[in-house]
Structure 1
């Protein structure tokens, strides 16, 4: 599945506000879908890059032989889900913002895991 199809599929989740595929080495989005005046996906992607980098550094500092499956940021009205892609050789992550009142976090995690496996970059 290509990037565009993957992003479209992620946006079919109930409550999806926006989704991006991001390179956390550069902070650049390889693709975005959704967003709007209340959610600038380019700014959010760059900011979440710092979150992923910090966690990767922390794991290295602690000499933990493990990887990040996903990172959840819970806001008052939204969930922000970050899923580093283990199936790619690069440093990519999927970022999904969900409306907390309409979204289902468990389904979103499951869908991002499935989309990760199907994504061809």
Structure 2
């Protein structure tokens, strides 16, 4: 089992092209931890904003009567991927992993695979 800090380090080092990572509580919009980012990528603001994305999708799925769980949500920008993976483990309800990738240097399939691994090992 891995802590939030260890999980953030793994996301940033194992996933090629990582620019920033966070573990976020989407019930409050607060980041439990962040790593990376910079002046052009404020992960605290991004975490809060993407909480709205998660909440909207969960609400819409409820209104549609969909009984499936969200695995991840991808937002593709000109030069970046923003990947959000909802944590479904026993201790992770209401949390998501947030990873920002450089589009030119990353492999999206591998990033999704690695986030799945991080989710399985995360203990909050």
Q: Same fold (TM over 0.5)?
A: yes
In the TM superposition, what are the counterparts of 1:7-86 in structure 2 within 5 Å? Answer: 7-12=8-13, 13-86=15-88
Three-state SS of the structure 1 residue aligned to 2:105 is coil
1:91 corresponds to: 94
Moved runs in structure 1, 4+ residues, more than 4 A? none
DSSP 3-state at the match of 2:71: coil
Unaligned stretches of 5+ residues in structure 2: none
2:117 maps to which of 111, 114, 117: 114
Residues 55-98 of structure 1 deviation map (CA, whole Å, 9 limit, x = unaligned): 00011001111110000000000000000101135300000000
Residue number in structure 2 paired with 1:4:
5
Aligned residue pair count = 121
C-alpha RMSD of matched pairs (Å): 0.7
**Whole-angstrom CA distance in 2 between matches of 1:9 and 1:73:** 21
TM-score (norm 2): 0.96
SS of match in other structure, 1:48? helix
* Structure 1 gap ranges (5+): none
TM-score (norm 1): 0.98
Structure 1 SS opposite 2:8 = helix
